[in-house]
Amino acid sequence: MTQSTLYPSATLLISCPDQQGLVAKIANFIYANGGNIIHADQHRDEASGLFLSRIEWSLGGFNLPKELIGPAFNAIAQPLGADWQLCFSDAIPRIAIWVSRQDHCLLDLLWRHQAKEFAAAIPLIMSNHATLKPIAEQFGIDFHHVPISRDTKAEQEAQQLALLEQYNIDLVVLAKYMQILSGDFLEKFPQVINIHHSFLPAFMGAQPYHRAHERGVKIIGATAHYVTEDLDAGPIIEQDVVRITHRDDVKDLIRKGKDLERIVLARGVRLHLQNRVLVYGNRTVVFA
């Protein structure tokens, strides 16, 4: 998506009960302070009567210093009963990638990061296995091996939370982590994106490719979603699919699925990093 790159930009993601003059009030706030809107998109959700909007403007010549934009906007937002978040294009979110034994999603994310597809830092890779340590080393990223066992899960999650704090992490990406996070963990750290290797809600849970093959489907998919306490039931960011035939056995589904997983996860992470995803209820608006 086109972005003027000379100056950093500010992005507002807003949701509030629909009412007259919302766009005018927000646009006036930006215009009155000398901002130029680069991207503005809005959606009205009939069912909930919610107004959902993303507005991005250049900070070149904007009168308010960054630290005052939030407070100043809040004076407008509060009477509207709006939920809102403000992000800056020159803020570099810090990502922790969590993996298990499979490398394809991890390698893909790291390559895209190298190729500057993500405006983010990746200081930490965490895994319940030591298998992928060499990749972390090769890319010069700290690797922490945190084994998981049912009985000691609480302590291990405490250790994981400590690492997230230590590395000052903003977003956790589960790149085939294959472990369930507790509601307790998610309460403390809610910003988690997962890739599930099926076209959700089909084949939630374990072994989706095996079950897809058993069912004899003609198309398989992958889904990037925010993690919630309910397994594979969180807000969906992105999905895509690929055709299969009777000639494809489970090994072929896994191989073809890897390409889907890589691309769908990367798209989901990129949309999140560009502040294009607005979650409301269990749904998302993706301002693509």
Residue placing its CB nearer to a second copy in the complex, 142 or 240: 240
> One of 232, 240, 252, 259 is an active-site residue; which one?
232
Beta partners for residue 195, in sequence order: 224
Report the alpha-carbon distance of residue 239 to residue 36 in Å, rounded. 33
Residue type, 170: D
Task: Supply the DSSP string of 1-45, one letter for each residue.
Answer: -----SS-EEEEEEEEE--TTHHHHHHHHHHHTT-EEEEEEEEEE
Cα separations in angstroms, 91 against 66, 101, 140, 265, 273: 11, 31, 22, 22, 10
Cα separations in angstroms, 43 against 50, 54, 225, 280: 8, 9, 20, 12
Closest among 51, 21, 26, 50 to 39, alpha carbons compared: 26
Residue placing its CB nearer to a second copy in the complex, 131 or 156: 131
Cα separations in angstroms, 48 against 15, 24, 78, 80: 11, 22, 19, 16
Q: How far is the CB of 175 from a second copy (least distance, A)?
A: 14
Q: How far is the CB of 78 from a second copy (least distance, A)?
A: 19
Residue placing its CB nearer to a second copy in the complex, 169 or 213: 213
Respond yes or no: is residue 41 known to be catalytic. no
Dump strand ranges (E) for 93-211.
Answer: 94-99, 121-127, 142-145, 171-174, 192-196
Q: How far is the CB of 271 from a second copy (least distance, A)?
A: 11
Q: How far is the CB of 273 from a second copy (least distance, A)?
A: 14
Report the alpha-carbon distance of residue 106 to residue 265 in Å, rounded. 10
Cis peptide before 123 (omega within 30 of 0): no
Q: How far is the CB of 108 from a second copy (least distance, A)?
A: 8
- Dihedral sign, CA of 116, 121, 127, 132? positive
Label residue 192 exposed, middle or buried (CB < 10 Å: 0-12, 13-18, 19+): buried
Residue placing its CB nearer to a second copy in the complex, 72 or 202: 202
Residue placing its CB nearer to a second copy in the complex, 122 or 169: 122
Q: How far is the CB of 79 from a second copy (least distance, A)?
A: 15
Beta partners for residue 220, in sequence order: 242
Residue placing its CB nearer to a second copy in the complex, 16 or 27: 27
Q: What positions carry a catalytic annotation? A: 232
